[in-house]
A and B are shown apart, each in its own frame.
Chain A
Amino acid sequence: MKTAPFPEIVTADGEKPVFKAGDTVFISTRYPVGHYRVPRYIRGKRCVIEAVIEPCGLNNEEEGFGRNAGQKRHYYRVAIPLADLWPGYAGSAADGLRIEVYETWLEGTK
């Protein structure tokens, strides 16, 4: 692990990704009223982070209500086997979903 060249640097809240590629995380289970961008079919599922998307972005749930500014966090491209999503999935066991999820919808443990 590299040491940071500038240890005195303080990053803004949300500036550093919380997760990294390869991490196993869970999609949160919550039910926002109105607008959401995390489809129901992946709620609560375990996934593996394939990539941290750079740069940070706005929370799209809030953007839907006109919030064009504010705190930015990372989106993550995550992988979920289709067999984990659909009981009795009939395709190949290797078939999978890739989807981008905002940091506030991911949890390290369940």
Chain B
Amino acid sequence: MTPSEELVRHLPTDMGGLPADRIDCSDHELLPWEKRCHALADVLDYHKILNTEEKRRGVEALGAEMIGKLSYYERWVVAFANILFQKQVLTPEELALKMDDVAARHAREAQA
């Protein structure tokens, strides 16, 4: 077996039994955008556009590095983007342009 096969055969999210640290019991109140992100997942599920299993698979597909470096809801929102592109609900271009638009709007509001 070549060394890279395990990367394919063992999902980075499949953690049962792996060596791990002490549990850090700290918790955080969800930021408003995180809560909106969670609500978006549920609303997309209601509309049968993106179900829970697809969301899980989308997060897995981010790969080990992104999974390790992005927080829980950051992983969700990037996974949603990929899935929505794949389903041709949104295009990469329109999301990118809208993101610039939103960023610019916030910059203007911050200055106001």
Contact = CB atoms under 8 A, between A and B. Distances in A.
Interface on chain B toward A: helix, strand, loop, or mixed SS?
A: loop
Contact of B16 (A39, A60, A66): A39
Contacts of A40: 10, 14, 16-17
Interface residues of B, number: 16
Nearest to B86: A66
A86 B16 CA distance: 11
| Count class of interface residues, chain A | 10 to 19
A65 B8 CA distance: 17
Contacts of B10: 40
Interface of A: 31, 33-37, 39-42, 60, 63-66, 68, 85-86
Interface of B: 8-11, 14, 16-17, 48, 51, 53-54, 56-57, 60-61, 87
